[in-house]
Structure formats: structure tokens, C-alpha cells
A = this chain, B = another copy of it.
Amino acid sequence: MKKILLCELNVSEGADEDKIGRITAALSGTPNIAVIEVNSDKDHNRSVFSWIGEPEDVLAGAKNAAGRAVELIDMSLHHGSHPRMGAVDVAPFVPIRGVGKDEAIEVSRAFGKFLGGLGVPVYYYEDAATRPERQNLVDIRKGQYEALPEKMKDAAWVPDEGPFQFVPKCGATVTGVRFPLIAYNVNLRTNDLSVGKEIAKRMRHSSGGLRCCRAIALMLEERGMVQVSMNLTNFEKTPIPVVFDLVKSLADSYGVGIADAELVGPLPLAAVEEVVRHCLRVRNFTIEQIVETHLLG
């Protein structure tokens, strides 16, 4: 089976089309990868580059794109509404098919050493973290770029790779390995936000809900509807159809129907497996039964 690894490189430039184009070109020139999307946001002043391929090719793409980003972006001049800490801000490597966690961690570490070699301070996070307090991106990035000069004087924040002091131009980069994240939003036939908040509270792990579910409720002003917006951090442990059933059951208990839903961003084929198993009752269904998987090698 051919291995598939995904990289989602978050870069702190979302407005300058010339620079974004040059980073894209560096990435696209990498042999044997497939670029899934380049998503730039001017307000965030940030671009997310997503691509897949075999682990060594995905690593080569990361080096090409990140090398160019470090060269072109000056963080001391950066403004944007999205939290950020470095020119190459975050780079998760996500196993999609036939790639073990350890192998993905090796790729992430090789990428970290490459950036360190370019003079960029690097922190490993999630499954690649070297300390428990570095698992969570939010903890590492607290205070953002502006906090780095002070933070890096603290022994607790010695980088895992690269120089031990603040580098104004590149800031710092976070890289690591995580399970594919699924963004699943369910829209309710109500404009009563309190119903959505109650449902979100019951859904999310932190307040007693499903183990791998984060949830908030928000108002979709244009549609006059409430949305339960969820991130599923592990679709094997907390499958999408189970999440749907529970949202539906909770909504029912308030006499509220489900209008529709959305899956945001690229979805691994493996996440579909449990949808077929659960919703069509085909308990032994595997994605290998899908015709097209025979072309994945």
C-alpha cells in the first residue's frame, strides 16, 4: 500500500500575492506531491498550504515551501487578526493512509531540524511534543509573536530546535503530528441561540460530552439559524455519524429540527468508512471495497 501523509503549512502572509505565488511555486515544483489547496486570507494575513504524497515527498515539499517563506516574510512587520508566532507559523503532519504515528513524527522532526538549521527556533507539538506542556498549540502560542522576546528568556520555553534566542525576522515555528481534524457544523431550524448553546455543551468533551468533540454554538445571522460548530479530533474514536445522531437527539428534545450541515475542508476517505457502517448498517465495510482505492497503489 502506498503511504499518504498530509501537510498543512500555515504561513504568515495572506495579502501579498507575489510572495504567496513564490511560496506556492516552491511547493508545486516538488516532485510526486499533490497540492490540495492554497487558502489565503487577507484579514488573517495568513495562508494555509495543504498537500499530500508519500512521507519523503511531503517532507521535501515542506522544506521547499517553508524555506521560501522564511526568506520572504519579515515577522517584525506582520499584522493580522489570526494568532501567529512565526513566518512559518504551524506545520502539522497528518497521517492519512498506511503511515504510522512514529513515521510521521520522524518527518516532523526532520522538518524541525531543517528549520533549526535555517536559524528558526522550533517547538514540537501534539504527538511530536517533547514535554506535556507543549502538546497544545494554544499554550505554545500564548502571547503570540509579541511575547517571544520575553518568553524565550524563560528556561521552560527553550526551543526544541534552532537558536535559543528571539529571532525578529522569522519568529518561531510549531510543528508536529496530529490525527486528521474534522470540522462538522450542524445548522438548526431555530434562531434561539440558547438552544444551540445547550446542545454544544452536551456535545463537547470538556463539559461532559463526547471524548473527541469540541463544540460551540453561534448565530448564522443571514440565515436566521443557530449553528453547532464542532471539531472532531479523532473520527475513529468519535465517528461523525455518532456525532450527528447525538446532535439530532438533543435537538429533538428541544423540538428543533436539523436544516442541514457542512463538512469543512478535506476529509480523509477513512472517515467515510464509519458513515457507511453506521448509517447503512454494513458493519464490515472497509474503504478497500471502494473501486478507486485500487488506483492509490
A contact set with B: CB distance below 8 Å? 4, 6, 34-36, 52, 96-97, 180, 184, 186, 240-241, 244, 258-263, 265-269, 272, 275-276, 278-285, 289-296
Within 8 Å by CB of A282, from B263, B266, B276, B294, lies B263
Within 8 Å by CB of A290, from B6, B272, B284, B295, lies B272
Copies in the complex: 2
Dominant secondary structure of chain A at its interface with chain B = mixed
A295 touches B186 (CB 8 A): no
Within 8 Å by CB of A280, from B35, B240, B292, lies B240
Q: Which residues of B contact A283 (CB under 8 A)?
A: 260-261
Q: Which residues of B contact A261 (CB under 8 A)?
A: 280-283
Q: Closest Cβ of chain B: how far from A104's Cβ, in Å?
A: 15
B36 touches A291 (CB 8 A): yes
The 21 listed contacts between A and B (C-beta, < 8 Å) are A4-B291, A4-B295, A36-B294, A52-B291, A52-B294, A96-B291, A180-B291, A186-B281, A240-B280, A241-B280, A244-B281, A259-B281, A261-B283, A265-B289, A266-B289, A266-B291, A267-B290, A272-B290, A275-B275, A279-B279, A279-B280
Q: Closest Cβ of chain B: how far from A192's Cβ, in Å?
A: 19
Interface centre among A35, A36, A280, A289 (most CB of B within 10 A): A280
A34 touches B244 (CB 8 A): no
Q: How far apart are the CA atoms of A295 and B292 in the complex, in Å?
A: 10
B269 touches A290 (CB 8 A): yes
